[in-house]
Amino acid sequence: MPFRLPTEVHFGQGVINNLPRIIEELSAKRPLLVSDQGVAKAGHVERLLELCQPVDVLLEIEPNPGHSTINRLTEKVRALQPDLVIGLGGGSVLDAAKAIALLINNPGNIEDYEGREKYHYPPIPILAIPTTCGTGSEVTWVAVITNTERRFKMSIKGKSLFPKWALVDPDLLITLPPSLIASTGLDALTHAIEAALVKPANPFSDIFAREAISLIFNSLTRAYHAIEDQEAREKMLLGSMLAGVAFCNSDVGAVHCLAEALGGMFDLPHGVANAVFLPYVLEFMVPAAKIKIVRMARWAGLEAKEEEAVNLFLGRIKDMAKKMNIPSLAELKIREEDFPEIAHRAAINNSNPSNPRLMGETEYIHLLNQAYF
């Protein structure tokens, strides 16, 4: 029962100001900054540039970063020989930073390294600074990159892909719009719930999942409705990070299997796709995982008898999504004729065997119909 948390985490308001000291401790002379235009418009890139002078700044990362983007940007910076990659942004940016750090030390293209521990040399050191409360990528060993030719989300995994450091600063959420609080927050909730639901869950991962569920359930709608509620956003960011630790030491399940299929095929935001399917997957898993779901309801603060606790838990999740304007599957313009391909991709996902209930294409078709109608 291994437990992994090799990332040195600095959490709290203003910890981004620790950046110069960390760079000095590293003796890093040529840091590379990876971010995106949205983060730059929010003023975070400018603030970081006041703290350090990177050898180059890459702001071309798109949502669900594509393999060609990663390959092109790496080719641009390899000759600069950076000795540290700083990822500043949401999950897409942090995953892109990991992928670029890997390719700087390894030949070829990112698609050559799909799977687990496929690289020859460890990536250069990675420092992650999240600006959303969703993915937990700052404490995981996975980079998810979309192969746009295959319309497929690749997982590049390896122990060396854990960021060496994470600066998790709630001040960076002040400019995050409510729509992104909603989608990334429900993404984090999905991470925590699935980490506790799936078969690889263990006492270590459950500790982090329990705290993450408690924090997110009691702060997500507050953070969404009140931009000035700094306490709620701080709890969301902490919950997101703890959820990342949880699923990194357990796994995810059917919600992610479906969300990753949709993301690869239709370039949908990952958090939105997770939010769409979460209540339906949980309801479907009740016969095989009722005890776990009741326990999660307790962690969320819902004290009731078993059947009522399950219904309250599912109802609260649906209610949160509705109040935060998460679209339905039908509103995402997914066609019924695409269901067989979505179900096929979900069934062959590497995380599918972790589900507490046997999931094949037929079961995924059922879930798609439930969410659609």
Query: Is-above-0.85 flag for pTM?
Result: yes
- Give CA angle at 129 (126, 133), nearest 5°: 130
Mean pLDDT of successive 10-residue stretches along the chain, which has 373 residues: 86 95 92 97 96 95 96 96 97 97 97 95 97 93 96 94 96 90 95 98 97 96 88 95 96 97 93 94 97 97 90 95 92 94 96 97 97 92
**Beta sheet of 152-157, edge-to-edge order:** 115-116, 152-157, 142-147
In angstroms, the CA 52 to CA 92 distance is 22
Q: What is the CATH number of domain 8-173?
A: 3.40.50.1970
Query: Distance between CA atoms of 250 and 199, rounded to whole angstroms?
Result: 8
Tokens 């009722």 found at: 290
Query: Any idea how long the chain is?
Result: 373
Q: What is the pLDDT, as a whole number, of residue 307?
A: 87
Q: Which residues have C-beta within 8 Å of that of residue 47, sequence separation ≥ 6? A: 16
Provide the pLDDT for residue 316: 95
The 10s digit of each residue's pLDDT in 129-178 is 999 998 899 999 999 999 999 999 999 999 999 999 999 999 999 888 99
Please give the backbone phi and psi of residue 53, each rounded to the nearest 5 degrees, phi first. Answer: -120, 95
Q: What is the pLDDT of residues 85-114, one digit of tens each?
A: 999 999 999 999 999 999 999 999 999 999
Nearest of 132, 126, 239, 113 to residue 183 by alpha carbon = 132
Q: What is the pLDDT at residue 227?
A: 76
Residue whose C-alpha is closest to residue 354's, from 222, 198, 197: 198
**Residues 154, 114: contact at Cβ < 8 Å?**
yes
CATH number for 178-372 (one of 3.40.50.620, 3.40.1370.10, 1.20.1090.10, 1.20.120.420): it is 1.20.1090.10
Beta strand spans in the chain (E): 8-11, 31-34, 56-58, 84-89, 115-116, 126-130, 142-147, 152-157, 165-168
Whole-number Å distance between alpha carbons of 55 and 242: 32
What pLDDT score does 226 carry? 84
Q: Give me the percent of the chain exceeding a pLDDT of 90.
A: 92
Domain ranges for the chain, please list them.
8-173, 178-372
